[in-house]
Structure 1
Amino acid sequence: MAGEVPAAAAAASATLLALELAWSPSTLTDADIEVLVVQGLLLEKAISGWRSYFGEASPSEDWTATVVFRSFYEKGFGLPSGAFFWGLLHYYGLEATHLKPNSITQIATFIHLCKGFLGIAPHFNLWRALYHLRAYPSKGTPDVVGGAAFSLHRGGKYPEAIFKDSNKRWAEEWFVVANPTPGLLPRTGLPPVVNARWEEKPTEEEMVEVQVLLAELQKHKAEKLTGATVALSFAKWLTQPI
C-alpha cells in the first residue's frame, strides 16, 4: 500500500508531462498577430485582449482567456462565437482546440450557406445529416491539439467543397485572446473523447424538415454553387461567420 501513492503520483506526473508535450512552442510574434488585426480578422488588442506567447512551450491561460490559432481566424473564426458553434462543441463534447483548421472552414461555410443562400439560421439537424466527426490520428488515441475533424457523409448532397490547408505548422501558431461572455468553456488540456454522437444522424422525424432543405441545396448545386464559392463569399466581405 505504501508504494501505491508514489506510483500514482508518478503516473499523474507522466500524464501531465505528456499533455504539455502535446503542444508545440508558439511561433507567433506580436507582429504576426498584428497582421490579423490589419486584415480585419481580429479586433485590436484593447478589445480582443490578444497576447503573444512566442517561444512558450504550452498555453497557461486562466478562465478569462482562451487559446486560438492564426489559421482559425483566417478561416472564419471569431469571438464571442455564435450559438451554433458553441452548440456544436457542446453536442460533440469538444473544445475549440480539438478541431483542425479545415473544420473551422467547414463550420464557417455552413453558417454562411444557411444565412446567405438558404435564408435561415444555421440548422443543426441539417449539419448532422451532412457531417460526421472523425478522430485523428486514430480513434483510440486522438491528439490533444487537432484531434477531431468533420467529414462529409458519403453520398451527401452538399455543394462540392475541397478545402486544402497548405499550412502544415498551424498548431505552432497559437496565441491567447480574451474569452468574452458567452465564452467558450475553459480548456481541459485533455484530448477529445470519441462518443456515439460523432457518427449520429438525425432521426426519421427530424429528417422530414432536413429533406426540404436538402432539396433546396440541390437547386443551388445545380446552379453551380460550390462550398468554395460560399467560402469565398464570406471571405470577400471579411465576415467571420463563427
Structure 2
Amino acid sequence: MASADLEWERSKISAQDINLLKKLGMQKPKALCFPSEESYPTPPMEYRVSFVDHLIRSLSAPIHPFLWGLLFVYGLQLHHLTPNSILHISIFITLCESFLGVQPNWVLWKCIFFCRCNGSPNVAYNIGGVVICVRPDVEYFDVKFPDSVQGWLKKWLYIHEENHGCAEDNIPPFDGTEKIYRRRSWDAEATDEEKTATEALMARIHELQSTRGKELSGIQITTYFLRIRVQPLQARKNPLWKYAGDNDVDRLSVDLPVKDLEKLVRKISSLSKKDAVPSSCRVKPYSATNALPKVEKSKNEPLSLMTTKMLLALIVNPQPLIKEFIRFGAQFVGYREYASKAEEKLAEANKRADTLAQKLEQSEEARKKAESDASKARAEADKAKTDAAGVEELQKRLHDAETSLSEHIAAQSAREDAITKRLKSQSRRFVSKTSQEYELEDPDNDPLLDALAFLEFHGDEAREGLTAAREGLSRLYPYFFPKKKEPATFLALSKCFNPPEDLGLKLRQENMKVAVESTVALVADSQQNIDWTKVGDTQEMETTKWQSLIRAAKPNTKKILAYLGFRPTPAPSSSKPEV
C-alpha cells in the first residue's frame, strides 16, 4: 500500500470518478451521498460507508448474502477489505453462478481462499487491513491484479442501504474504531468430506482453465460481469444463470461503450494499453438462453450412486429446507434401535428425576436461608473492605502530604542557604571595590529580609555614584564635544568619553591650533616680510620656539581678532571660546 499508517482523512473524489459512477448506473436518486468537509465518516440515516474502487468492482446495496456471510464469519467490515479482495469475491460469485451453475457456498470457498493481514506484523491497518488470497496449493484463475490501487482509501462515500426487512441482506453498520482481530475462520480449511463433496466442482474449474482453445481466465470473467451490467455482489432477484440479456431486471445500466469498458477493465487489472481486452468468454456462460443441464438418472446407474449425486448437488446448491432435511437424515438414519433403548433409559431417568425433585424441594428452604446468610455476609465484607480502603487512602494521602511538606521545607532551607552564601560573596566583592565593610545583621532569623537591606544599601551606593558621574560628565561634555547635543542616557554619555583617541590631547591640539593661527594672522597683518617656508619647516624649528611663540600669542588672541575685524561669540564660562 502507499502508506504505512492507513487512517481516515477527508474524502477526495474527483469529477472523473463521479462521471464513471454515473456511466455505471450507480448514481440514481438517493443512491449515493458524497461527503462534504468531514475527515471521518459520519454516514446519514440509512446510508453505509463504501469506496469508489469497491463500487466499480461490482459492490452495490443490498449486498449479496454470500458476501454478508463472509463478513460475518471473518468478523470484518467492508472497509477492512482491499479493492483486489472485493474483486476476488465478485469473480468467485460470477464463476459459481455463470460457469458452474451453482450458488456460491462456503465449502467451495474454503477449498480455494484464505485470509491474511495486510502489512507487516508491527503495523495494524484500519482501512484495507485484510487481504483475501488464493491458497498456494490450489490452481485458480490468473486474475492479473494490479500491484497496488493508488489512493483508493481517500475516495470514500456513502451508499444508500435498501432495507428489505431481512437483516442478512443489509451491510453491517459502520464502526471506524473497531479493530481487526485474526480469527480461526481466516485459515479454515475444508474437511475430507467437504473436499469429496466439491471434487466435481474443482474438476470443472480445472477443466475451464485448461481446455485447449476454450481456456477461461479471470480477466474474461471480470469483463463478462462488467459487460452484462449486473453487480455480482448485489442481492439480486435472479442468479446469473438466469440472466435475460438487455431486459434483465437486475441490470444497472445499458451496455457500456467498448472504449469505456476496456478502460474500466484496465483500471481494475494490470492490463496495459498494449494488452487486448477479451470481447467475450471462450466458454459460453449459463443464462436464460443457455440453460443449466438437467440431472437425469441413468437406467443402468445404481440407486446408491444416483443418491450420492443428488446429495452432492444439494450440498453445493443447498436450499434452506432441504439442507435441514439432509442434516437430520444423516444424523438419525440407522439409529432406530438405539432410540428404543434410549426410551427405556429415559423412563428410568424420569423416576430418578422425580426422586431428585422431592429432595430438591426439601433442600429449597435451606438453600434460600444459605443464600440470605451469604448475601448478608457479602454485604458486611464489602462494607469492611470499603472502610479499610478508605482508611488506607487517608493514610496514603497523609503520608504523601508529610513527604511533600518535608521536601518543601528542605528546598526552602537550601534556597535560604544559597541566598545567604551569595550575599556573603557579594559583600566580599563590595568591600574589595569600595573599601566599605558590610555584614548581615541577623542572617539566622531572617536572611531574606537582611538580604533586602543589603541590596538596598548597594542600590543607594550605585544610584549616588551614577548621579555624581552624570554631573561630572555633563560638565566636561561641552569642552570635548562642542556644538553636539548631550545624550539623554548615562550609558550613551559614558560611551562618548571612551573613544580610541585621547580627548585631552585632542583638546590641547585644538587650543594650540587657535593660538598658532592667531599668531600667523598677526604676523601677516604687520606686513613684514616673512620666509613662510622656513617658518613652516617644523622639523628644523625647535620645540622651545613654538612654545614661546604660543605663550606670546595666546594672551593677545582677543586683541588680534578684534584688530582683524572678528568679534567672538559670547559663550558661557564653562564652554570653549569659538574662533
What range describes the TM-score normalised by the shorter chain of this pair?
0.7 to 0.9
Structure with greater Cα Rg? 2
The residue type equivalent to 1:38 in the other structure is K
Give the aligned partner of residue 184 of structure 2. 196
SS in 2 for 1:91: helix
Q: Deviations over 1:180-223 (max 9, x none)?
A: 22311112212321111111111111111122210011110113
How far, CA to CA, are the matches of 2:126 and 2:14 in structure 1? 23
Q: 1:95-146: per-residue Cα shift (whole Å, max 9, x none)?
A: 0110000011100000000011001111221111111101122356431110
Larger helix percent:
2
- Contact 1:139–1:194, Cα closer than 8 Å, also in 2: no
What TM-score do the two structures reach when normalised by structure 2?
0.36
Q: Are the structure 2 counterparts of residues 30 and 52 from structure 1 closer, same or farther at C-alpha, using a change threshold of 3 Å?
A: farther
Whether the aligned pair in 2 keeps the contact of 1:162 and 1:228 (CA below 8 Å) is yes
The structure 2 residue matched to 1:66, chosen from 48, 62, 66, is 48
Residues 198-237 of structure 1: pairs in structure 2 closer than 5 A: 198-223=186-211, 224-237=215-228
- Aligned match for 1:44, one of 7, 28, 50: 28
Distance 1:165 1:150, change over 3 A: same
Of the three residues 187, 206, 209, the one matched with 2:174 is 187
Alpha-carbon RMSD: 1.9
Greater alpha carbon shift after TM alignment, 183-192 vs 73-82? 183-192
1-structure distance, mates of 2:124, 2:148: 22
Matches within 5 A, 1:1-242: 22-28=7-13, 32-40=17-25, 42-46=26-30, 48=31, 50-62=32-44, 64-139=46-121, 141-164=123-146, 167-181=149-163, 182-189=169-176, 190-223=178-211, 224-242=215-233
- Check conservation: 2:58, 2:90, Cα contact below 8 A: yes
**CA distance, structure 2, for counterparts of residue 29 and residue 45 of structure 1:** 19
Using the aligned pairs only, state the percent identity.
Answer: 27
Please report how far the alpha carbon of residue 165 of structure 1 lies from its aligned counterpart in structure 2 after TM superposition: 5.8
Per chain length, whose mean CA-contact separation is higher, i.e. which structure has more relative contact order (CA < 8 Å, sep 6+)? 1
Equivalent residues, number: 219
Contact (CA 8 Å) 2:83, 2:149: kept in 1 or not?
A: no
CA shift in 2, pair 1:212/1:70, >3 Å: same
Aligned equivalents of 2:81, 2:224: Cα separation in 1: 23
Corresponding letter in the other structure for 1:232: T
Tell me, yes or no, if the aligned pair for 1:27 and 1:54 is still in contact at 8 Å.
no
Q: Structure 1 counterpart of 2:18, which letter? A: I
Which AA in structure 1 matches 2:152? W
72-81 vs 178-187, which moves further: 178-187
Residues 157 and 214 in structure 1, CA contact (< 8 A), matched pair in contact too: no
**Contact 2:52–2:156 (Cα < 8 Å) also in 1:** yes
Structure 1 counterpart SS, 2:198: helix
Of Structure 1 and Structure 2, which has the larger fraction of its residues in strand?
1
**Alignment deviations for residues 15-43 of structure 1 (CA, whole Å, 9 cap, x no partner):** xxxxxx82121002577435302222x14
Structure 1 Cα separation of the partners of residues 141 and 102 of structure 2: 17
